Structure 1
Amino acid sequence: MTRLIVAAGGGGDAVAAAMLHAALYGDADQAVILTYAWDRLLIDPLPGPRGTEGFTGLETLSPAVSKVPAEARPIAPAGSTLPRLAAELPHTLALIDPNNGAEGITHQLEDLITQLQPTSIDLLDVGGDVLARGDEPTLKSPLADSLTLAACAQVNAPIRLLVAGPGLDGELPYEDLRGILGPLIHTFTANDVEPIGPVLEWHPSEATGMLAAAARGVRGTCEVRDAGLPIPLTDESPTVHEVDLDEALTRNELSRAIMSTTTLAEAETLSREICGFSEIDYERNKALWLKEQQPTALDSDSVHRQLAQFEAEARSRGVTHTTFRHLTEVLNLDGSQRNELREILLNSHPEQYAAPLWSITASGPQDPSRTT
Structure 2
Amino acid sequence: MINEIIGLNVRSVLVIGIGGGGDVVGSSITYSLAVNEGKEAVLGAVLWERYINDIVPGPIRVQELRNAEVFGNYLAMVDGDTYAIREGRRVVPQIANVLSVIKDDGLGISISGSVNDVARELSTYVNKYGFDAIIGIDVGGDVLALGNEDGLYSPLTDSYSVAVLSKVQDYTGAQVVLGIAGPGVDGELDRDYVLMRISQLASKCAFLGAYGPTRGDLMILEDILSKAVTEASGLVYRAAKGYHGNVGIRGSTKNVKLDISSSITYYLDLRKIISDLPLANLVINARDPWDAMRTLNSKGVMTELNFEEEVYRYYKTKSKIPSPEEAYLMIKEIKNRLKSQVQLMSNQHGSTHH
Report TM bin, short chain.
0.7 to 0.9
The code of the aligned residue for 1:41 comes to: Y
**Residue 194 of structure 2: aligned partner:** 177
* 2:243 pairs with 1:230: no
Q: How does 1:87-106 map to 2 (within 5 A)?
A: 87-106=100-119
* 2:314 pairs with 1:289: yes
1:94 is displaced (CA, Å) by: 1.2
Identity %: 23
CA contact (8 A) 1:99 1:264 kept: yes
Rounded Cα–Cα distance in structure 2 between residues aligned with 1:279 and 1:258: 15
Q: Please, which of 255, 265, 279 is the counterpart of residue 240 of structure 1?
A: 265
SS state at 1:84 partner: helix
1:131 is displaced (CA, Å) by: 0.5
Q: Please, which of 32, 44, 59 is the counterpart of residue 49 of structure 1?
A: 59
Give me the TM-score of the superposition, normalised by structure 2.
0.77
Rounded Cα–Cα distance in structure 1 between residues aligned with 2:96 and 2:190: 32
1:240 is displaced (CA, Å) by: 1.5
* 2:196 pairs with 1:168: no
CA offsets per residue over residues 34-93 of structure 1, 9 Å max, x none?
A: 212212111112122101122133214679631113343311225123433332223432
* 2:295 pairs with 1:266: no
The code of the aligned residue for 1:13 comes to: D
**Residue 122 of structure 1: aligned partner:** 135
Rounded Cα–Cα distance in structure 1 between residues aligned with 2:60 and 2:19: 13
Stretch moving more, 225-234 or 141-150: 225-234
**Residue 202 of structure 2: aligned partner:** none
Q: How does 1:128-147 map to 2 (within 5 A)?
A: 128-147=141-160
**Residue 220 of structure 1: aligned partner:** 245
Q: Please, which of 54, 71, 84 is the counterpart of residue 74 of structure 1?
A: 84
Give me the TM-score of the superposition, normalised by structure 1.
0.73
CA contact (8 A) 1:30 1:91 kept: no
Rounded Cα–Cα distance in structure 2 between residues aligned with 1:175 and 1:151: 28
- Which blocks of at least 5 consecutive residues in structure 1 are unaligned? 297-327, 333-372
Aligned length in residues: 302
CA RMSD in angstroms, aligned pairs only: 2.7
**Residue 352 of structure 2: aligned partner:** none
CA offsets per residue over residues 222-257 of structure 1, 9 Å max, x none?
A: 101146211011121011112232454223222102
Rounded Cα–Cα distance in structure 1 between residues aligned with 2:149 and 2:74: 35
Q: Please, which of 165, 170, 174 is the counterpart of residue 152 of structure 1?
A: 165
Rounded Cα–Cα distance in structure 2 between residues aligned with 1:202 and 1:275: 37
CA contact (8 A) 1:9 1:125 kept: yes
**Residue 33 of structure 2: aligned partner:** 23
Stretch moving more, 181-190 or 14-23: 181-190
Runs of 4+ in 1 over 6 A off after TM superposition: none
Change (3 A) 1:172 1:94: same
Rounded Cα–Cα distance in structure 2 between residues aligned with 1:8 and 1:226: 24
Rounded Cα–Cα distance in structure 1 between residues aligned with 2:74 and 2:50: 25
CA offsets per residue over residues 178-234 of structure 1, 9 Å max, x none?
A: 233235421224432111312202322111000011112111211011462110111
Q: How does 1:314-329 map to 2 (within 5 A)?
A: 329=324
- Which blocks of at least 5 consecutive residues in structure 2 are unaligned? 1-10, 199-206, 328-354
1:174 is displaced (CA, Å) by: 2.2
SS state at 2:260 partner: coil
Rounded Cα–Cα distance in structure 2 between residues aligned with 1:274 and 1:244: 27
